[in-house]
Amino acid sequence: MPTNCAAAGCATTYNKHINISFHRFPLDPKRRKEWVRLVRRKNFVPGKHTFLCSKHFEASCFDLTGQTRRLKMDAVPTIFDFCTHIKSMKLKSRNLLKKNNSCTPAGTSNLKSNISSHQVLLEHSYAFRNPMEAKRRIIKLEKEIASLRRKMKTCLQKERRATRRWIKATCLVKTLEANNILPKGTSEHILPTALSSIALEDFKILEQDQQDKALPSL
């Protein structure tokens, strides 16, 4: 039987007189991993007695056709109040500092405050410290995208050049074979199956098409 909710900052506990249901983490690894990701708790590993209460699911996630309220197979928790959780952690940190302020040096108190703030940032690594950091991150990502686009363009150009070389080589081999300069069946041995089965006339059309594409447009 569930005792409390595993969501960060949620104080809901089991009470049979309250219309709140508790739902165990799914056994399916893929769905279980998705639930853990949405909960956003650092180093969180749910056990077989770990539950989330119904407050964290939308109404469309429930199957109400039976006598009990059950989750649908594709239901995922999407309702969380992370801001309240962060405020609660900061409030606890302040109370702890006030309590120890009378018997600890100012330097030690400041050190504990810095450590506490660092822990909050680590636990909520998806958040940026300030707008400038977010802007720098966006600029960095834009540069990475531009670099990947240039690499992709270079790869496409290399692919087109390689294709033209294959077409020219294949057309040459088939022409020599058609003029009895090379023995019959040579193309079947030295060319890939996909190329050797194409007729010479089709290769000439392909070669002409590649030449037309290579010409600069006026």
Q: What is the pLDDT of residues 32-46, one digit of tens each?
A: 999 999 988 888 899
From residue 78, alpha-carbon distances to 7, 39, 50, 83, 110 in Å are 11, 9, 17, 14, 36
Closest CA relative to residue 195, chosen from 159, 176, 167, 175:
167
Establish if 104 belongs to a structural domain.
no
**In the chain, % of residues over pLDDT 90:** 16
Whether 10 and 69 share a structural domain: yes
Q: Is the pLDDT of residue 134 over 60?
A: yes
Q: Is the pLDDT of residue 120 over 70?
A: no
Establish if 170 belongs to a structural domain.
yes
Establish if 62 belongs to a structural domain.
yes
DSSP-H helix ranges across the chain: 29-39, 82-101, 106-123, 131-178, 186-190, 193-196, 200-214
Q: What pLDDT does residue 34 have? A: 92
Q: Which domain holds residue 143?
A: 131-202
Helix, strand, or coil (residue 171): helix
Establish if 22 belongs to a structural domain.
yes
From residue 171, alpha-carbon distances to 28, 29, 33 in Å are 55, 53, 54
Whether 5 and 72 share a structural domain: yes
Establish if 180 belongs to a structural domain.
yes
Q: How far apart are CA 110 and CA 131, in angstroms?
A: 25
Number of separate domains in the chain = 2
- Averaged pLDDT for residues 43-57: 89
Whether 67 and 136 share a structural domain: no
| Type of residue at 136 | R
Longest alpha-carbon distance in the chain: 102
Whether 5 and 74 share a structural domain: yes
Which residue has 């409390």 as its token pair?
A: 4
| Pair 53, 10: CB distance under 8 Å | yes
Whether 9 and 71 share a structural domain: yes
**pLDDT tens by residue, 65-116:** 877 888 888 899 988 876 655 555 555 555 555 565 555 554 555 555 555 5
| Type of residue at 141 | L
Establish if 102 belongs to a structural domain.
no
Establish if 86 belongs to a structural domain.
no
Establish if 108 belongs to a structural domain.
no
Q: How far apart are CA 217 and CA 213, in angstroms?
A: 9
Closest CA relative to residue 167, chosen from 199, 131, 206, 197:
206
**Is residue 154 very low, low, confident or very high in pLDDT (cuts 50, 70, 90)?**
very high
Final residue of a domain: which of 80, 99, 120? 80
Q: Which residues contact 112 (CB under 8 A, 6 or more apart)?
A: 96, 97, 100
Global pTM reads 0.38
Q: How far apart are CA 209 and CA 193, in angstroms?
A: 22
Q: Which residues contact 41 (CB under 8 A, 6 or more apart)?
A: 6, 8, 123
